[in-house]
Amino acid sequence: MKVKVISRSTDEFTRERSNDLQRVFRNFDPSLRTQEKAVEYVRALNAAKLDKIFARPFVGAMDGHIDSVSCMAKNPNHLKGIFSGSMDGDIRLWDLASRRTICQFPGHQGAVRGLTASTDGRILVSCGTDCTVRVWNVPLATIMDSDDLSDNSAKESAVYVWKNAFWGVDHQCDGNLFATAGAQVDIWDHNRSQPVNSFEWGKDTVISVRFNPGEPNILATSASDRSIAIYDLRMSSPTTKLIMRTKTNSIAWNPMEPMNFTAANEDCNCYSYDARKLDEAKCVHKDHVSAVMDIDYSPTGREFVTGSYDRTIRIFQYNGGHSREIYHTKRMQRVFCVKFSCDGSYVISGSDDTNLRLWKAKASEQMGVLLPRERKNHEYREAVQNRYKHLPEVKRIVRNRHLPKPIFKASALRRIMGEAERRKDERRRAHSAPGSMPKESIRKKRIVKKVE
């Protein structure tokens, strides 16, 4: 006879000293855990509810400007520094951690319309409606960290007066050129007092310009003739132009897929394009109820933030048709500029009410240092929620957002209008000769033509 029975000695399964950690034994056998799917579902539901409870995205407001904030620039060299320019010609450098002005850059007579910092973070370029481009030396990071704020105004290192008012400026991501947008696109060098190159295509004003993050010689502009144009500095003439039905207010390149860019359009939508194939948008991002004023990509390239004239900020997935998040406060007015922070965890918005506002990119994220167990718990919650996100109850909780009444009404109205348009289109098609009215996808519909 051979016999063995389970026999556990207490010493083997408990800790030796009271200072030790309790011993943990695992057995992953599914039969020990009954109804595990139901348990997971309940956990997912709880995770969704907790997410809602902890969703407190607003971190703080930064006030100091005395007119609406028109433009912002990130300091690529310093995570917590951000430049903002306002309509009264004031430029400020903010410390995001303490939410104070560190430095002011006085000089502009009219509104500041464009701000950009060089890649090394040492030079700030601003331009405005007073027909000047100003180049500034950015104070060192060590000064930023000090508490001494006695000398808090900087002097410009160069002022270039030019023929026309400027609407935007952007610095090359790798090099020492920068481009300004105005009556035409001018390419400037740090060391020259006149543009080294200038491009013109049509007579209308160019309102925004953005260099490609991957290929330093390529830039995209949008103009008030409803066009988006792509220029190559190595060629004497612009390469491609796309005319849409409505004006594009701003453009942002995807930093991780540098051939793709997203255009913030006046018709409340954003359009993602592949720069090599402009005859069709890759994705249409709908949700805003008024003109989208500014757009900025997260450094991860997976999502972008948009600010709109409807007083809200929305965060979209790079390939998502609808926003995953909407931010608004009662006091926030028309949003003119938005930026993702360089670490992708915060969003900064500048609006008509002269304030900059700091938001979390993930509304319910816990800030500060997380203990490993805490982090694991967060990860687990996210995973179960992700697994059950398609179920109606979880979906309802995750998707529900409180909207300000005007936005809610406007979006309902837009939905009705869209539906009516679709119905009308359908009827027209039904009553016309078959094939005479081909169905046009929304991705192509808003494009008027493409010019080479």
| Footprint of other proteins (CB under 8 A) | 1-10, 12-14, 22-43, 46, 380, 383, 387-388, 390-391
- Distance in Å, CB of 256 to other proteins, minimum: 18
- Distance in Å, CB of 12 to other proteins, minimum: 7
* Tokens of residue 279, six digits: 């005859």
- Residue by residue, DSSP assigns 117-147 as E-TTSSEEEEEETTSEEEEEEPPPHHHHHSS
- Distance in Å, CB of 435 to other proteins, minimum: 26
Beta carbons of 345 and 365 less than 8 angstroms apart: yes
How many whole angstroms separate alpha carbon 236 and alpha carbon 229?
A: 14
Report in angstroms the alpha-carbon separations of 365 from 130, 175, 400.
42, 36, 17
Amino acid letter for position 419: E
- Distance in Å, CB of 25 to other proteins, minimum: 5
Residue among 10 and 150 whose Cβ is closer to other proteins = 10
Report in angstroms the alpha-carbon separations of 274 from 9, 258, 271.
67, 9, 10
- Distance in Å, CB of 52 to other proteins, minimum: 16
Residue among 376 and 422 whose Cβ is closer to other proteins = 376
- Distance in Å, CB of 438 to other proteins, minimum: 23
Residue among 12 and 148 whose Cβ is closer to other proteins = 12
Residue among 84 and 385 whose Cβ is closer to other proteins = 385
N residues, the chain = 452
Residue among 31 and 236 whose Cβ is closer to other proteins = 31
Any bridge partners for residue 81, and if so which? 95
Q: Report how far Cα 450 is from the mean position of its chain's Cα atoms.
A: 27
* Tokens of residue 331, six digits: 């006091």
- Distance in Å, CB of 325 to other proteins, minimum: 22
**Cβ of 178: how many Cβ atoms within 10 Å?**
25
Q: Are strands 218-223 and 156-161 parallel, antiparallel or unpaired?
A: unpaired
Which of 351, 333, 348 is closest to 60 using CA atoms?
Answer: 348
How many whole angstroms separate alpha carbon 353 and alpha carbon 73?
A: 18
Residue among 18 and 436 whose Cβ is closer to other proteins = 18
Q: Are strands 260-265 and 270-274 parallel, antiparallel or unpaired?
A: antiparallel
Secondary structure letter of residue 31 according to DSSP? G
Residue among 39 and 417 whose Cβ is closer to other proteins = 39
* Tokens of residue 410, six digits: 């406007």
Residue among 49 and 277 whose Cβ is closer to other proteins = 49
Residue among 322 and 449 whose Cβ is closer to other proteins = 322
Q: Is 408 helix (H, G, I), strand (E, B) or coil?
A: helix
Residue among 36 and 280 whose Cβ is closer to other proteins = 36
Residue among 311 and 381 whose Cβ is closer to other proteins = 381
- Residue by residue, DSSP assigns 251-303 as EEE-SSSTTEEEEEETTS-EEEEETTEEEEEEEEEB--SS-EEEEEE-TTSSE
- Distance in Å, CB of 389 to other proteins, minimum: 8
Strand order in the sheet with 91-95: 69-74, 81-86, 91-95, 100-104
